[in-house]
Chain A
Amino acid sequence: MATTSTSLESRVSIDRRIRDISFTTFLSISIVASLAFIFYIIYRLYNNAGYLLSWDLVRFFPSYDIDTAGFQSSIMGSIWVVGFATLFAVPVGVMTALYLEEFAGKRNRFTALIELNIQNLAGVPAVVFGLIGLAFIARGPLSWGFTVGSAAIVLGMLILPVIIIITREAIRAVPPSYKEGALALGATQWQAVNKLVIPSAIPGTATGSILAVSRAMGESAPLLLLGALSFVTFNPTGLDSGFTILPLAIFKYASDSREEYQVLASAGSLILLAILFAMNLFAILLRDYTLRKRNI
């Protein structure tokens, strides 16, 4: 065994080994660089505002009095808006993906058109969704105003194409033999999808959806157009309620003339990062858990 491996290694030319090593080094440098960047940002923020981290930040509402200024209404606003966006986008997205993959039949002009649109929508800048929301949801036909409901629909539209694409990938990754076997044994299309395809596609779908939702959490441009850049000192009470969101509350504090509010903005960024890290960690653990469960 040992002898064969040495003889194999000796047969690999020096040129190829150098290429191999340099490529690995390049990859390591890339990962170190990207991690260093993240750590640098966290370090700067922590250095600026680490001493402010306490429950007071979450407990206090925005205020013009620095001693009682915090982020409660914006954190709750973000949770409401992103929560309803998720309730709207995930079921619709998953069902659309299931239809396209399992029930639409052979590729025809209709499905090709839908696919093209979804691909395009995923690439549309976020601010365009904000403009659509402003014109058709906040004003125009729906006239829902600058409310939690309008914002949730806009963010839902924003992450919908991403969820559809991710779910389709997850469904495609399920070996076709599973379904074919079930069909051959007399299962109906629905039984095969329900019992075999969906359970196997859950890990990929769930992680993908959480990543899409955490993107919505950090998104600010579309909601800027929906009046989220406001001084709001109350938590949302319903879909018709006014609101603000964490990224824009940070922006508002950062653009204040007083230096102490800029420190508060750094503290808010740390909260936002913590929330995003927690969501991504949850996504990883969920994938880990569902994969292990399936493999048993």
Chain B
Amino acid sequence: MFSKKRILAVFSATGLALSLLSAPALASTPEGPVTNLGACKSRNKVDYDAKGVEYKCSIAGGGLKWKKTGGKKGAGASTSGGSTIDTKQFANVSGAIAIDGSSTVAPLTGVAAEAFQKISQTKITVGISGTGGGQTRFCKGELDMANASAAYSETQRKACADAGITFTELRLATDALSVVVNPKNTWAKCLTIAELKKIWEPGSKVNYWNQVRADFPRVKMPLFGAGTDSGTFEYFTEQVNGRPAKRSRVDYTPTEDDNVTVNGVKRSTGAMGYYGFSYYKENTDINKAIAIDGGKGCAEPSLENVLNGSYTPLARPLFIYVNNAKAKSNKAIIPFLEFYAADLKNLSEKAKFLPLTADQTKKLEADLAALKKLSN
């Protein structure tokens, strides 16, 4: 019934169809040369322009494009990263570290984990089940560390205490929770917290922009926001709608995947949404962040405004929680955290997070030293 001939016929037909279909794809993908560069056809191909500057063929947007690596011809492969710390001290560190929690913090911890695994023999998993999901697992003792985009609440701390788990809270970075609108939105440049509350408070009836401020046009306002299990949702609702946290209007599009917000805001002129700063940095061409007036004047989310304290109250601390008992038994944890803290500036830059101030860095170093002492 299934003779070889028949199978061959089916597969050659499949192959033929595929090759026919792929013809337009092949014709359209390669990007033109930048300057004296060959065709950028295969990933990670390296070429040099007339001046000997190195370019690498990288994935960018929907296709391959030449990207400057900063290297020079003859200088050998360009080294990635700008880490300034001595990496040899970690070469003999081994063990497994389980991390889970906030999807906002995961890129930062992920970059750290990736870099650390290259210089040591550790195996680190970084999950993204949300601040709440990570806290549940952390307080069951399943995790060595938990990422959190909002400090644990009293009830969450009690859940850990009830399970006999003591932990250390380390503040790693700062996020500027960004409120974004469509680039075609020319009227909303700065909103006060009171106006945001009017839009987002439970039972809000604001559906058009002119209901926020009378001089705004009557444009429909579709809303996008964070899912209820995320630290982003918790922080935003607490700062905008007041305590207790997690109260919000419900007729908006909630999502754990910030891309939904990015694309939703991109598609509709009147749309509004909010998410972490690193997402905004990736999408400045299709989403526009608006300035927030939290009592200290209008301030846009930016490194400068977060460091000088004018982006308030939506600048939020990001944490990692460390299980004290595990830090003692698992010999990989302290070295990893030492690396993480020492290289934090470089890592934050890579993951597009806002770095800590000098005072905050001192606090992190002190907290880490205390944890190290505890686990010896």
Contact = CB atoms under 8 A, between A and B. Distances in A.
Chains A and B are bound partners: yes
Given A242-B96, A242-B125, A257-B282, A234 B259 contact: no
A259 interface: yes
B308 interface: no
Nearest to B282: A257
A46 B29 contact: no
B127 A64 contact: no
Name which of B41, B80, B259, B283 has the most chain A CB atoms within 10 A of its CB: B259
Contact of A54 (B42, B58, B80, B350): B42
A4 to B, nearest CB: 29
Contacts of B11: 281
B262 interface: yes
A29 B259 CA distance: 38
A40 B339 CA distance: 47
Contacts of B29: 50-51
A264 B43 CA distance: 11
Given A227-B127, A231-B126, A64 B56 contact: no
B343 interface: no
B123 A234 contact: yes
Q: Mostly helix, strand, loop or mixed at chain B's interface?
A: mixed
Interface in A238-296: 241-242, 244, 252, 255-260, 263-264, 281, 284-285, 287-288, 291
A43 B58 contact: no
B259 A288 contact: no
B60 interface: yes
Contacts, number: 124
A64 B107 contact: yes
B62 interface: yes
B24 interface: yes
A63 interface: yes
Interface stretch (B14-22, B152-160, B183-191): B14-22
A56 B43 contact: yes
A160 to B, nearest CB: 27
B63 A51 contact: yes
Contacts of B24: 47
Nearest to A50: B25
Contacts of A284: 2, 7
B166 to A, nearest CB: 21
Name which of B41, B42, B106, B114 has the most chain A CB atoms within 10 A of its CB: B114
Contacts of B58: 66-67, 260
A227 B101 CA distance: 11
Given A231-B126, A257-B259, A263-B62, A146 B80 contact: no
B370 interface: no
Given A56-B44, A230-B127, A146 B142 contact: yes
Given A50-B22, A50-B25, A232-B125, 11 more contacts: A46-B21, A54-B43, A146-B98, A227-B129, A231-B113, A231-B127, A233-B124, A242-B125, A260-B59, A288-B4, A291-B2
Q: Which 8 pairs between the two chains have the least Cβ-Cβ distance?
A: A242-B125, A231-B126, A260-B59, A257-B282, A230-B127, A47-B25, A43-B21, A230-B125
8 contacts: A46-B22, A51-B26, A51-B41, A231-B126, A233-B117, A234-B117, A242-B98, A242-B125
